[in-house]
Amino acid sequence: MDVTEFEVWWKIPFRHSAGIHATRFFEGLKEKKILGVKCEKCGRVLVPPRAFCERCHAETGEWVEVKDEGIVETMTVTYMKFTGLPDPPYAVGVVKLDGADTGMLCFLGGVDLSDWRRVHEAFKPGTRVKAVWREEREGKITDIEYFKPLD
Amino acid sequence: MRVAVVGFGQTPFRTKRKDKTHPELAFEAINVALEHAGLDMKDIEAVAYGSMDPFDGIYCPERWDATACGLEKPVMKISTGGTTGMTTALAAYEHVASGLFDVAMAVCVQRVGECVDAQPVLNTAVDPIYERHSGLGAIHVAAFQATAYMAKYGATEEDLAWVSVKDHKNALKNPCAHIRMDISVEDVLNSRVVCSPLKLLECCPRSDGAAAVIFASEDVAKKVRDNPAWVVGETTISDSYYLGDRPDFADWDSLAIAGRRLFRTAGVENPVKDIDVAELYSPFTIQEILELEALGFAEKGKGKDFAKEGITFPDGEMPTNPSGGVLCTNPIGATGLVRFGEAALQVMGEAENQVDGVEVALSHAWGGTLQFHTLALLSSRKKLR
């Protein structure tokens, strides 16, 4: 017997507040500045910035500008199409920027993504990378198009 | 208060269980568990229920499924990402451990097969302000771990493939497992790359199904069965919400902390000697390796050799995922409860792929883009020491 199936959609718009810290971070991106905040208790510079340090349960304090260069902690290239996610191939990595104590999730680019082994060689953990900024910046995380190998 | 598992039930897991609705799957698993325990629905005093709503497209599935759990009973809903099944087990356990109830049941239902694709749902679990734009799901974060681990410890693609070969061979012996096929290292290496370096046969399927576990106080447990699985330790832990805040993708530090906490409270001195089998939440090959190391079953950098050298096979020194594991069956919100139930069956000596002489079994789940871990130890002895 063919069992009846119903198609159901969840397509519900929301508007998430970014809060004051992320808003200031996004404003900085327009000026090609990457801002973090310092936890006065543990001294870590958190990038992207947030209102409290979850390790210390303490409000963060001083704003710090970090460099738009850093090192790759890890990465992956996606070759399968997932519903609603970017079209493959796309490379994503965690980059620790100079002056920051946390990694930032970002796209990696500037190299041919067709052979994953070569991409892993280009961005192996420890590789220095630099941000490639969009010409037209609108104060969004995607104002940084991707990070490319520094050399 | 000593508490034991006295019954476990699971449905066969498949891509789609079109033959049954949500509560009908719950009904099926619950009845298997009740029969296993030799109890009736009227004996169940309270229910902990777990599911992750958006995978099934049903808000409050506990409403629908409560109809299969016996009306008028206290019902508590639990939802903690991939750890849902294990935390639901712990919620039911704590109902009894508190002394408030003598018999409580954990029930989990999940129908990932009814969702067009699990990754967009998983993407909504990622920070919406800073991280979600990057197209991240669960496979991506496991790939992050694989890239970092391979660079730090020199693991090869073949090392990882052996984990998949082992799990698939185990799943062949488990009629409830979803993916049941005999595969070789070459099959794994030749399967398509999903998120580099992870290939299709290193990634779990999306599964439909349900599971139920029944807990009883010491007096009841002794009456209903002669081989109960005693809960001798349990803990959970949370790491940062932000993916970039993980200390090191090559080592699972939060799990190591949780493991030490569990072993200290349960009286485990040497995990390899004291624990006979582990059911770990490893939907991706690399994760079993990291988990073995974090839990002290393998030294750092040595977990990569365990499957290849046969150590994690059922007849090896540290049998891991004899059920076929999460790699072969993943009804996400029910998966942790299946780990817990399979660990209990091993202790009872009743598992389909039974390891010889199990007295102590470890059950684990992780969830929330590497954020949460839940652990439990089950034993045929009421106390380890």
Q: How confident is the model at residue A128 (pLDDT cuts 50, 70, 90)?
A: very high
Count of C-beta atoms within a 10 Å radius of residue B384? 18
When CB atoms are compared, the residue of B134, B135, B249 closest to A74 is: B249
| B128 within some domain | no
Last residue within a domain, chosen from B194, B229, B264: B229
Check: CB of residue A130 under 8 Å from CB of residue A143. no
Cβ-Cβ contacts under 8 Å, A75 against chain B? 144, 147
Interface test with B, best of A57, A105, A107 (most B CBs within 10 A): A105
| B133 within some domain | no
With 80 as the cut, is the pLDDT of residue A19 above it? Answer: yes
% residues pLDDT > 90 (chain A): 97
Cβ-Cβ contacts under 8 Å, B151 against chain A? 74, 124-126
Range of the domain at B34: 3-116+206-229
Positive/negative CA dihedral, B214, B215, B219, B225: positive
| B346 within some domain | no
- B142 and B248 fall within a common domain: yes
- B314 and B279 fall within a common domain: yes
| B260 within some domain | yes
pLDDT in tens, B335-361: 999 999 999 999 999 999 999 999 999
Which residue blocks in chain A are alpha helix, DSSP H? 19-30, 116-122
Last residue within a domain, chosen from B229, B263, B285: B229
- B199 and B244 fall within a common domain: yes
pLDDT in tens, B36-87: 999 999 999 999 999 999 999 999 999 999 999 989 999 999 999 999 999 9
Q: What is the pLDDT of residue A1?
A: 87
Chain A within 8 Å of B194 (Cβ-Cβ)?
A: yes
- B65 and B178 fall within a common domain: no
Q: What are phi and psi of B32, to 5 degrees?
A: -65, -45
- B112 and B151 fall within a common domain: no
* Residues 9-38, chain B, touching A (beta carbon < 8 A): 18-19
CATH of the domain at B195: 3.40.47.10
What letter does residue A133 receive in the DSSP assignment?
E
- B174 and B253 fall within a common domain: yes
Question: What are the structural domain ranges in chain A?
Answer: 19-149
Chain B within 8 Å of A90 (Cβ-Cβ)?
A: yes
- B357 and B276 fall within a common domain: yes
- 3-state class (DSSP) for residue A59: strand
Cβ–Cβ below 8 Å for B135 and A79: no
- B146 and B34 fall within a common domain: no
| B121 within some domain | no
Cβ–Cβ below 8 Å for A85 and B54: no
- B263 and B184 fall within a common domain: yes
Q: What is the pLDDT of residue B375?
A: 98
* Prediction ipTM score: 0.97
- Give me the count of residues in chain B: 385
Helices (H) and strands (E) in chain A, counts: 2, 9
pLDDT in tens, B153-174: 999 999 999 999 999 999 999 9
- B89 and B147 fall within a common domain: no
B288 CB burial (10 A radius; 0-12, 13-18, 19+): buried
With 80 as the cut, is the pLDDT of residue B142 above it? Answer: yes
For chain B, what is the domain count? 2
| B20 within some domain | yes
| B182 within some domain | yes
